[in-house]
Amino acid sequence: MNKKVSIIIPFYNCAYVEEAVESALNQTYPHIEVIVVDDGSTQHVEKLEKYIDTGRIKYCKKENGGTASALNQGIRAADGEYFCWLSSDDVFLPDKVLRQVEFMEQTGSMASFMSFYFINENSQVISEAMAYPFTNKLLFYKMLRVNCPINGCTVMLDSRVFDEIGYFDESLPYTHDYDFWLRLIQVYDFLYIPLALLYYRVHGEMGTKKHAITIKLEIEKVKNKHSAAMKSLIKQEIAAIVNKNSN
């Protein structure tokens, strides 16, 4: 296994960015590049200076445009065969990339995601591993039709996915990930790995708390956009199950 993994870290005024970068650089999988995309930050940029000065990260500076635009710039700057996204307030466990590359190579999959733990502002684990009850595609599709159970920072994609379905939708400030997953499953299988190798931080400044009402409205917009496609996928999967059981 020598394929390169590009870890993209969108960064905007986040006090936890150093912890995120350290977790990316300390992966046990050796073939990585860490790309920090500064989305117009005015605070905490000094935390990155030692990584920039030593060349340990690729640093991309841009005007503020939101997470989707930062991810897209990182993808354009990346040259890895695999893509990972790490939010600047979250933390990869050391074997996250290694175990996910192993899975992707063994299964030949184009997309996978994992479970995760919640941590607090002091980096203390405050939950058990979040388990997903997906025993088959039908249950997975039905869940995705109504909500987004996937934490984007647990995802690994074969970078060729972007050539097929495009980048993250920059017109969706908060649900660009949900929209992308719904586009993804119309082309590729999205496989679940029953491992928890991400710490997802809960804190007062996180966007999901500060913009809850806007996010709810945007979720409905994305669901409506993909409603027909999801109905079709669910119908196809039911037909496949019926056909399998009748043989």
Going by pLDDT thresholds of 50, 70 and 90, the confidence category of residue 208 is low
Going by pLDDT thresholds of 50, 70 and 90, the confidence category of residue 245 is confident
pLDDT in tens, 62-74: 999 999 999 999 9
The DSSP 8-state label assigned to residue 12 in this structure reads S
pLDDT in tens, 153-203: 999 999 999 999 999 999 999 999 999 999 999 999 999 999 999 999 998
Q: Is the pTM of this model over 0.85?
A: yes
DSSP, collapsed to helix, strand or coil, labels residue 152 as helix
DSSP alpha helix (H) spans, the chain: 17-25, 49-53, 67-77, 96-107, 137-146, 161-165, 176-184, 207-210, 212-225, 227-246
pLDDT in tens, 14-59: 999 999 999 999 999 999 999 999 999 999 999 999 999 999 999 9
Q: Which two tokens stand for residue 143?
A: 């869940």
The DSSP 8-state label assigned to residue 39 in this structure reads E
* Structural domain that includes position 112: 5-246
Going by pLDDT thresholds of 50, 70 and 90, the confidence category of residue 1 is confident
Predicted pLDDT of residue 226: 98
Q: Which residue has the tokens 């995760």?
A: 116
The number of domains in the chain is: 1
> Distance between CA 161 and CA 181 in Å, rounded?
11
Averaged pLDDT for residues 214-228: 95
CATH code of 187's domain: 3.90.550.10
Averaged pLDDT for residues 2-17: 97
Residue 96: closest CA among 173, 192, 198, 212: 198
> Which residues touch 30 (CB under 8 Å, ≥6 apart)?
none
CB distance 211 to 132 below 8 Å: no
DSSP, collapsed to helix, strand or coil, labels residue 145 as helix
**pLDDT averaged over every residue in the chain:** 95
Amino acid at 187: V
DSSP, collapsed to helix, strand or coil, labels residue 43 as coil
CB distance 222 to 179 below 8 Å: yes
Predicted pLDDT of residue 212: 84
Q: Which two tokens stand for residue 124?
A: 């203390």
Share of the chain above pLDDT 70, in %: 98
Tell whether the torsion through CA atoms of 97, 98, 99 and 101 is positive or negative: positive
Averaged pLDDT for residues 97-113: 98
